[in-house]
Amino acid sequence: MKKIVFLWTFILLLMSCGTSKKVPKKSNKTYTKSEKIVANALKYKGVKYRFGGITKKGMDCSGIVYVSFLEENIQLPRISRDMAKTGQKIPLKKAQKGDLLFFKTSKKGRGINHVGLIVSVKNNKIRFIHSTTSRGVIISQLSEKYWKNAFVKAMKIL
């Protein structure tokens, strides 16, 4: 009987040792302001489109850019047309993560009416996050015909 009690005690002791949780190791990586802004924007991926929106209930294209920068205490104008006057114009080949892309998507003479935030540049492929009326907050590639044809300029804010 003592052997059975000892055996069960030993088994329970072994099982309890295996249930301890591992504490995740803290990363020592420091993030650039651009990386933080992009991470802020990516939190809103999938949010539906809402004209003038700046919350998870709905966002427009300038709303996602505005909020992503504001979360890092950088105040930008609220609408894309005015954002396009902020920062420094850069050649597309020098565009990097965190830079802004501006578009004219309307054939009417309104000028710039859309903005996206670059999330990655790999092998000369530029991916950007933005909000569209039909699909909400999504990631697109600048090489897509529609966006390539509507592209106006790239701007560096930071």
What positions carry a catalytic annotation?
61, 114, 130
Question: Count of CB atoms within 10 A of residue 128's CB?
Answer: 27
Cα 77 to Cα 150: distance, rounded to the nearest angstrom: 21
Please, are residues 27 and 89 in contact by the beta-carbon 8 Å criterion? Answer: no
Question: Residue 32 has which token pair?
Answer: 């650039």
Q: Which residue from 126, 158, 133 is spatially nearest to 34, judged by alpha carbons?
A: 158
